[in-house]
Amino acid sequence: MPASSPAATGVDVVLLTMNDRPDEEAAAVRTLLAQQDVEIRLVIVGNGCRPSLSVPGATVVTLPENLGIPEGRNRGALALRDTGSEFVFFLDNDASFPRPDVLSRLVTEARRHPRAPYIQPRLTGPDDTTTPRRWVPRLRAGDPARPGTVATMTEGVVMVRRDAFDAAGGWADFFLYHEGIDLAYRLWDQGRTGWYAADVRMHHPVTSPTRHALFHRLAARNRVWLAHRNLPGPLVPVYLGIWAAVTALRGLRGGGRQESLQGFREGWATRRDQVRRPLRWRTVARLTAAGRPPVL
């Protein structure tokens, strides 16, 4: 993988594929390999397939079945565990780098914010401007161009310090949805924060998560798992009550009420399969002070 100098910072890059987006994957890799002033180590993970994408020098991991996005990314990060890279970057296979200095600028942001174990670029559509609210990793999402401390993340384009990622145990095995909130909580519980580098852009097609047939069920199920894994006991019913109400209201407009109810039931029935590590109350206070109380 290219680098401009022997002293370039190492960045492991994990890219998942199901061989379903050949044009987008080609753009993702082409713009990745154009990145300057970093030493890139790429792993391509075939989630239930043998990757058709071929990149010289890349590590290839073939999973015999689709383990879901979070676990697929975990397997990729594990494959590059011994590279010695300081950072690991998780790249959606339909995202792309609009400039050759994106990764190096994220590294610079990480140097400026040493308490931040993860650096989140601003995700936009291909027009370099459109940013849906769900892509802004904070509650006050009205101005996506405003940088600052954040307490969640956009999972498909995020850079995480390798030591913090490993100490947090990687991504939760949620298959799809809300694994970014889970990881952010555990990184904050290390006594650290997240940083939103709004001046650093990444491109991604603007699509709706509800296009996935499993969206409503998995999103509701994973809310229960998220609460059980991370929240102190008194906050679990508060969190689930708020999100049950929000989901019901959204269902009136967009449908999916039955699937969401099924997901909540499934999550509650299987919650004890998840490892419970409640946030410290000090972390709850810090998240609240940062504008993201962990009941929203």
> pTM value?
0.93
The reply to whether 295 falls in a domain is no
Nearest 10 degrees: Cα torsion 10, 14, 20, 24: -30
- The whole-number pLDDT of residue 251 equals 80
Q: Are residues 112 and 137 in the same domain?
A: yes
Q: Are residues 200 and 254 in the same domain?
A: no
In single-letter form, the type of residue at position 106 comes to L
The reply to whether 78 falls in a domain is yes
Q: Please state whether beta strands 9-17 and 59-63 pair in parallel, antiparallel, or not at all (unpaired).
A: unpaired
The reply to whether 106 falls in a domain is yes
Q: Are residues 144 and 253 in the same domain?
A: no
The reply to whether 164 falls in a domain is yes
The reply to whether 257 falls in a domain is yes
**Which stretch of DSSP H or E encloses residue 236?**
helix 235-254
The reply to whether 1 falls in a domain is no
Q: Are 250 and 296 in contact (CB under 8 A)?
A: no
pLDDT tens-digit series, residues 137-188: 888 778 999 999 999 999 999 999 999 999 999 999 999 999 999 999 999 9
Burial class (CB in 10 A: 0-12, 13-18, 19+), 99: middle
- The whole-number pLDDT of residue 211 equals 65
- Specify the higher pLDDT residue, 141 or 224: 224
Q: Are residues 62 and 144 in the same domain?
A: yes
Judged against a pLDDT cut of 90, whether residue 100 lies above it is answered with yes
DSSP 249: H
Total domain count for the chain?
Answer: 2
Q: Which domain holds residue 184?
A: 9-207
The reply to whether 4 falls in a domain is no
Q: Are residues 119 and 246 in the same domain?
A: no
Q: Are residues 178 and 263 in the same domain?
A: no
**Spatial distance between the Cα atoms of 247 and 135, rounded to a whole number of angstroms:** 19
**Alpha-carbon separation of residue 262 from 7, 69, 179, 182, 213 (angstroms):** 52, 21, 19, 21, 14
Q: What is the CATH number of the domain that holds 175?
A: 3.90.550.10
What percent of the chain has a predicted confidence (pLDDT) above 90?
86
Beta bridge partners of residue 202, listed in sequence order: 123
Considering only CA atoms, which of 275, 287, 153, 175 is closest in space to residue 220? 175
Q: Are residues 152 and 238 in the same domain?
A: no
The reply to whether 3 falls in a domain is no
Domain end, chosen from 155, 190, 207, is at 207
Residue 235, φ and ψ in degrees, nearest 5:
-90, -15
Q: Are residues 175 and 240 in the same domain?
A: no
- The whole-number pLDDT of residue 209 equals 76
Q: Are residues 94 and 188 in the same domain?
A: yes
**Spatial distance between the Cα atoms of 88 and 106, rounded to a whole number of angstroms:** 11
**Spatial distance between the Cα atoms of 182 and 186, rounded to a whole number of angstroms:** 6
Q: Are residues 201 and 222 in the same domain?
A: no
Number of H helices, E strands in the chain: 9, 8
Domain end, chosen from 165, 184, 207, is at 207
**Average per-residue pLDDT for the chain:** 94
